């Protein structure tokens, strides 16, 4: 069976879509291969692009704090993005980029085999549940091809609206209980 490091090495040199031309470096993901919990965001931002690590900017710090509040240690979870390279000016990823990058996430999930996948934001949710609105399903467990998927708002969105930040904190607070059920 392949390893996360094998996949990461491929991602770092990947040229399968045009984002390889504007990235500083690809951001494969971080965390242990035996993580029970995987968080999936959208795409790297400027700080992630510079450091090669997901969720290290402002949104990442909020995520760390919210995880700590509910007794979850970031070192014990795997964190990745659906798109591994930063889109210029943080524009939304395009269809072709999504299609080109998706196999990497699928392979990472196949190695980790997590009990629960927490999608951060509407883009990440759309990768697992196309056409479903995050405002309708956040905080509600979904079953997708045998995978348990739990949608929450993106930490970056939490800075834009207080209600989203409260919903994110409330939804994340339920994660330890959901994990215990599996
Ligand atoms: Fe490859 Fe994904 Fe980066 Fe595109 S975004 S170059 S598919 S790793």
CA 17, distance to chain mean position in Å, is 19
Which pLDDT tens digit goes with each residue over 126-173?
999 999 999 999 999 999 998 999 999 999 998 999 999 999 999 999
Dump the DSSP string for 71-115.
Answer: T--GGGSEEEESS-SPPGGGPPPPHHHHHHHHHHHHHHHHHH--S
- Confidence at residue 136, expressed as pLDDT on a 0 to 100 scale: 96
- Residue 18 CA to ligand 1 center (angstroms) comes to 8
Q: What is the pTM of this model?
A: 0.95
CATH 3.40.470.10 fits 4-181, yes or no: yes
Indicate the domain borders of the chain: 4-181
Predicted local confidence at residue 67, as pLDDT = 93
Confidence band of 40 (pLDDT split at 50, 70, 90): very high
pLDDT digits (tens, 9 = 90+) for 48-90: 999 999 999 899 999 999 999 999 999 999 999 999 999 999 9
How many Å lie between the centroid of ligand 1 and the Cα of residue 102? 9
Q: What is the model's pLDDT at position 164? A: 93
Q: Ligand 1 atom 3: the closest Cα is on which residue?
A: 85
Residues within 6 Å of ligand 1 by CB: 11, 14-17, 19-20, 26, 83-85, 97, 100-101
């Amino acid at each position: 069976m392949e390893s996360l490091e094998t996949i990461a090495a491929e991602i770092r040199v990947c040229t399968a879509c045009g984002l390889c031309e504007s990235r500083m470096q690809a951001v494969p993901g971080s965390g242990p291969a035996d993580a029970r919990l995987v968080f999936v965001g959208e795409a790297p931002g400027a700080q992630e692009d510079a450091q090669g690590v997901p969720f290290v900017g402002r949104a990442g710090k909020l995520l760390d704090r919210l995880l700590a509040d509910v007794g979850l240690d970031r070192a014990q979870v795997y964190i990745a993005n659906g798109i591994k390279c930063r889109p210029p000016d943080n524009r939304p990823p395009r269809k072709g980029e999504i299609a080109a990058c998706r196999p990497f996430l699928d392979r990472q999930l196949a190695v980790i085999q997590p009990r629960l996948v927490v999608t951060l934001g509407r883009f990440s949710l759309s990768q697992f549940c196309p056409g479903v609105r995050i405002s309708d399903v956040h905080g509600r467990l979904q079953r997708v091809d045998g995978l348990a998927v739990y949608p929450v708002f993106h930490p970056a969105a939490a800075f834009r609206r207080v209600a989203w930040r409260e919903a994110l904190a409330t939804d994340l607070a339920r994660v330890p209980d959901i994990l215990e059920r599996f």
